[in-house]
Amino acid sequence: MGHAKTSYVCLPCRASYKQPYGDVGERKCPRCAGVLIHVGSAFAPPRRRDTAAWRTLSVLLNAGVHFHKSCCGGPGYRPRTLHEVRERMAYARRTGEPFARALVRRELP
């Protein structure tokens, strides 16, 4: 039986790669030799030409939000548009809630 694979992303190249998970050290992008970011096994990459989706993904990853499976299914809610991200960031600024927690809220109060 093979090793479980997980997703790694290169934001500048807008590319996603499935690789075996393990302590290999820093993983490099085969296109630009930049550092790949581990995003989790439940990640579904957007199309390369969908710049808005990649900008949304960049905000999520920089806030520390990843796409790991939970015991009951997928990673939970993740915003898909910049509008959803802006709403949640404004909510976080208004209430003082951490950005990472506000970004994964399904609905805002």
pLDDT band of 70, cuts 50, 70, 90:
low
Contact 62, 56 (CB under 8 A): no
Show Cβ contacts of residue 55 under 8 Å, excluding neighbours closer than 6 positions.
Answer: 82
Return d(Cα 106, Cα 103) in angstroms, integer.
8
Handedness of CA 23, 26, 49, 78 (dihedral sign): positive
Sequence letter at residue 50: D
**pLDDT above 90: residue 37:** yes
pLDDT band of 1, cuts 50, 70, 90:
very low
pLDDT digits (tens, 9 = 90+) for 17-34: 998 877 778 899 999 999
Delimit the domains of the chain by residue range: 5-103
